[in-house]
């Protein structure tokens, strides 16, 4: 199952955070937001299909987030968890840890913002349009 979100980069995209990455519906990004990869997302976790959310709540589920911008693509996978809420109306956050809040969309991600392809990050920092695909298996 898939959920597709359209967003865009921003000049302050730095992708330097070591334990999280984020896509947000916010229309701004300060330099402090070093986990944020894209802004102005057209959907948030609260908008995802209930069947998709239920599939993500399986502890054995593999959740993958792929980001494409300006011809550059990278993806990261993590796991699902019964405690995932998918109720946040602003942000989707992937985590390398096992911490869960209403923004969390995956746990134990292979890497965080700092691990994303630097050419992709540069395209996002140039404000490129982004397609973010969430997949659960």
- Domain definitions of the chain by residue range: 2-136
Q: For residue 78, what pLDDT is reported?
A: 98
Q: Does pTM top 0.85 for this prediction?
A: yes
pLDDT, one tens digit per residue, over 27-51 is 999 999 999 999 999 999 999 999 9
Band (pLDDT 50/70/90 cuts) for residue 72 is very high
Candidates 25, 61, 30; CA nearest to 45 is: 25
Phi, psi angle pair for 74, to nearest 5°: -150, 155
| Alpha carbons 29 and 15: distance in angstroms, whole number | 12
Q: For residue 15, what pLDDT is reported?
A: 98
**What is the CATH architecture assignment of 2-136?**
Sandwich (2.60)
Rg (CA), the chain: 13
Q: For residue 88, what pLDDT is reported?
A: 98
Residues 4-18, mean pLDDT to the nearest whole number: 98
Band (pLDDT 50/70/90 cuts) for residue 102 is very high
């Amino acid at each position: 199952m898939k959920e597709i979100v359209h967003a865009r980069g921003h000049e302050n995209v730095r992708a330097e955070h070591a334990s999280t990455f984020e896509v947000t519906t916010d229309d701004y990004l300060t330099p402090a937001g070093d986990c944020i990869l894209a802004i102005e997302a057209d959907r948030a976790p609260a908008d995802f299909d209930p069947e998709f959310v239920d599939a993500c709540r399986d502890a054995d589920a593999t959740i993958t987030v792929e980001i494409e911008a300006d011809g550059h693509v990278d993806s990261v996978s993590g796991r699902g968890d019964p405690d995932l809420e998918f109720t946040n109306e602003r942000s989707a956050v992937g985590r390398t840890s096992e911490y869960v809040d209403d923004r969390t969309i995956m746990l134990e991600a292979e890497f965080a913002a700092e691990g994303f392809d630097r050419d992709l990050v540069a395209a996002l920092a140039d404000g490129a349009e982004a397609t973010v695909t969430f997949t659960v298996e």
